[in-house]
């Protein structure tokens, strides 16, 4: 018997399948949010009825899992859609980086996963959508934070320095390859969160490169180098 040959999918069928998949993902995300409401209600009842810590912990883990799944689905939908940037002139990239390094309440227990900052003390301004860019840099930071152990020697570091008319941001120490990588693209950022972050950075005229234990992001700056 001759082996079956793979057939190229018709572009129209692929486009329709993509639209249907996005709709399914969107509906699933809404259902997960509904399940989270019920789980949150049950957790409050358990706390009020003074139930065992094991039961409360189980519900807390359930809610965290629902949150994580909903975030991934939301990222997938956003990754597939065009980005709309709202740029502002002379946005301070250093402030965005400092904010991205701060633990966020909805990102889990990040206090136990330290980060060492190395931010160059020089002006770094660009024409950025500060909200979207901040989201992208925070997403990469938190993705890597989730791969760092609590051992003292296993620390994530975040570096920002200027290279001519660009700023280079580097994350070192995390193991992004430890996460499931559903997306294959040219920059190597395979998780949906890092792939979306890379898309946001590239939309600003930047570029991203992801390796096993380092992620680099270059962003264009609008201000001149000091003493130039």
Q: What is the pLDDT of residues 75-127, one digit of tens each?
A: 888 888 889 999 999 999 999 999 998 865 544 444 446 788 999 999 999 99
- Domain termination site, one of 80, 108, 123: 80
* Residue 191 backbone phi and psi in degrees, to 5: -70, 155
Question: How far is it, in rounded angstroms, from Cα 141 to Cα 133?
Answer: 12
Q: Is residue 219 a contact partner of residue 167, using CB atoms and an 8 Å limit? A: yes
- Kind plus residue range of the DSSP H or E element containing 193: helix 192-203
Is 191 part of any domain? yes
Q: What is the pLDDT of residues 122-171, one digit of tens each?
A: 999 999 999 999 999 998 888 888 766 556 566 788 999 999 999 999 99
- Domain termination site, one of 46, 64, 80: 80
Segments forming the whole domain that contains residue 65: 11-80
101's CB contacts (< 8 A; 6+ apart) are 115, 117, 141, 158
């Amino acid at each position: 018997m001759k082996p079956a040959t793979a057939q190229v999918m018709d572009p129209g069928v692929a486009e329709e399948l993509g639209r249907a998949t996005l709709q399914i993902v969107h509906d699933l995300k809404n259902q997960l949010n509904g399940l989270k409401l019920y789980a949150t209600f049950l957790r409050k009842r358990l706390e009020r009825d003074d139930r065992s810590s094991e039961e409360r912990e189980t519900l807390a883990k359930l809610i965290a899992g629902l949150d994580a799944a909903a975030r991934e689905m939301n990222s997938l939908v956003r990754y597939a859609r065009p980005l709309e940037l709202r740029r502002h002139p002379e946005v301070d990239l250093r402030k965005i980086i400092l904010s991205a390094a701060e633990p966020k309440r909805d990102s889990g227990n990040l206090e136990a996963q330290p980060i060492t900052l190395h931010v160059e003390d020089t002006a770094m301004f660009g024409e950025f959508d500060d909200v979207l860019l901040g989201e992208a840099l925070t997403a990469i930071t938190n993705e890597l934070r989730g791969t760092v152990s609590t051992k003292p020697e296993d620390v994530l570091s975040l570096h920002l320095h200027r290279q001519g008319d660009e700023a280079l941001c580097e994350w070192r120490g995390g193991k992004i390859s430890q996460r499931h990588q559903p997306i294959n693209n040219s920059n190597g950022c395979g998780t949906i969160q890092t792939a979306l972050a890379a898309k946001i950075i590239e939309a600003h005229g930047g570029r991203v490169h992801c390796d096993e234990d380092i992620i680099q992001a270059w962003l264009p700056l609008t201000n001149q180098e000091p003493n130039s």
